[in-house]
Structure 1
């Protein structure tokens, strides 16, 4: 690990992340706390089952949240990007870590001791409120994936997942909207409760319909946003289905 000197500018924080939700003063205070460190790809920041005493605020890169069953089966639960906070749940309630968090590439994060983070929340009610809203968003995301697993086929579940990821992390590219997060077919399957072979077939079908482009091993581009939303049975006018901001 090595120290890095600075954090990204305020304007670079992705919307809907913890840092982006903070008022200016609370944001500046948070980004002055703790120490910024950089970690290599594949580094484990948090390990499931261990006690939680620190919180990480990602300032560059992205991480994956993975949970394991008692039998050793692993599932990808979420992806977190710059501006997101991780490790907060265990610090707030004193429980053990509920998942393992690993870096997907070189990642920088601001490391705060648990008591420092709790003190920050007490001094800044607006930050505590932002964290509460963020936790509600996480719960809605998880509930939505569970509902879709029983209410839709795997192809529609995949389409809805691609739209959800793009809405949060997507980047405009000449071909359409890049998801903004490198995910393998196995990881996409984890997020929609499907086998890799099922995801492979669903991606091939979506590509044949002209709705997505498969670019490389870990990259998917939405080439027809309205068409994919229609396929996913999502009303583009509904406030519950915001289109990717980058589109």
Structure 2
């Protein structure tokens, strides 16, 4: 049985500001967001611990205030598949708002993370009073499902190089570099650190990336993107 996330204290004003930035919560009125901020329960999850596990009762949603979490599931062979990473101000567990069913995936803290827990009944009340926010919730769920489908497909179709290239590009975003350690990158793509290290050094020799104390600098993004497309085509 999982231990519940640790209760925490929080500044009400900062929580209201975070809710205003969250995609689902931004559709609510200021008054409704203020009410949810007061009703919600703050909690903290330490690095590597689960916020909740697949199969747990879905009786609440969470707003990520600080930190980072990953959404993961398992294949039939028991292999963990990292489906997505979420950063503030993400809304997590929104499916529970609609059906109150069990969780469909594990949510693990990549680093120490703080949340606002909003009980399903409180969220339902807010959505019933403001239907536009309900439409936002449905749109967000659809987007998450598309991302999950893509992640599962890539886990089955992309080789090591394709998965590594995709992870580097996604982690970098608009930044020129990725600051994750090779161990963490390996874990996120389901490979050994040794294999990741060999592939990275191959790309250094090719001039696609550079490695140093500041992390992994992406020099030839077009080459990495082409490699992903080639892997998918095969």
Residues 233 and 142 of structure 1: CA distance in aligned 2, closer, same or farther (over 3 Å):
farther
Q: Deviations over 1:74-132 (max 9, x none)?
A: 33222221111112223422322122222222211001111112222222333223222
> 2:221 aligns to what?
228
Contact conserved, 2:84 with 2:151, CA < 8 A, in 1? no
Distance in structure 2 (CA, Å) of the matches to 1:42 and 1:80: 14
Query: Which stretches in structure 1 are left out of the alignment for 5+ residues?
Result: 235-247
**What's the C-alpha RMSD, in Å, of the aligned pairs?**
3.7
> 1:209 aligns to what?
206
Counterpart check, 1:186 vs 2:183: no
Please state whether the residue corresponding to 1:205 is helix, strand or coil: helix
Contact conserved, 2:68 with 2:113, CA < 8 A, in 1? yes
> 1:35 aligns to what?
41
Aligned residues: 219
> 2:61 aligns to what?
55
Deviation at 1:45, TM superposition (A): 1.4
Pair member with larger Rg: 2
> 2:8 aligns to what?
3
Distance in structure 1 (CA, Å) of the matches to 2:149 and 2:60: 27
Q: Deviations over 1:6-44 (max 9, x none)?
A: 236848998xx6368646736555544412222322332
Contact conserved, 1:21 with 1:130, CA < 8 A, in 2? no
Structure 1 range deviating more: 108-117 or 203-212: 203-212
> 2:70 aligns to what?
64
Query: Which stretches in structure 2 are left out of the alignment for 5+ residues?
Result: 1-5, 228-234
Deviation at 1:3, TM superposition (A): 2.0
